[in-house]
Amino acid sequence: MNRPTPRQPFSRRSPLRSEVRSRFSSYSARTGFGANWCEDCRALDLAIKSGRSAELLARQFKVVKVDIGNFDRNLDLVAAYGNPIKKGIPAAVVLSPDNEVLYATRAGELADARRMSESGIYDFLRKVTRTTKKRSATGAAPRSSAR
């Protein structure tokens, strides 16, 4: 299946790294790594499509979803952004318009998304947003947790 659906939010089409970059010339990007077989990935996808999380993401980021299959697809993109899937999926990376990593999950922060409440996901995204805004403004090195 090539087009994402509610049950399969990740397209099998592989985005090129240049395509990921070019879509965000004036916005920060939130790139989500996941797979259609992953319950947590599907749960997170549903959570970010409605309510406060959807509004926050729409205001702050352009979102790209990258299918990693059975940990065997798009691994060049995974490696380019510091292997955010190492401790589980879904994983997220926030990129500056210059393709610099402002934030990346490194400890499986979203790997239990199906058990996170709507407000838990929103709070996580809000912290990431604050962290990336500060990093973007100061040019500081990326962080791997949204504390």
Tens-place pLDDT, residues 53-69: 999 999 988 888 999 99
Classify domain 17-135 at the CATH topology level. Answer: Glutaredoxin (3.40.30)
pLDDT over 90 (residue 27): no
| Mean of all residue pLDDT scores within the chain | 83
Q: Please state the rounded mean pLDDT for residues 96-124.
A: 93
pLDDT-based confidence at residue 5 (cuts at 50, 70, 90): low
What residue type is assigned to position 7 of the chain? R
Percent of the chain with pLDDT over 90: 59
- What CA–CA distance (Å, rounded) separates 136 from 97? 10
pLDDT at 51 (0 to 100): 93
pLDDT over 70 (residue 142): no
**How much is the pTM?**
0.78
Structure tokens at 117: 């409440």
Torsion angle of the four alpha carbons 10, 13, 17, 23, in this order, in degrees rounded to the nearest 10 = -70
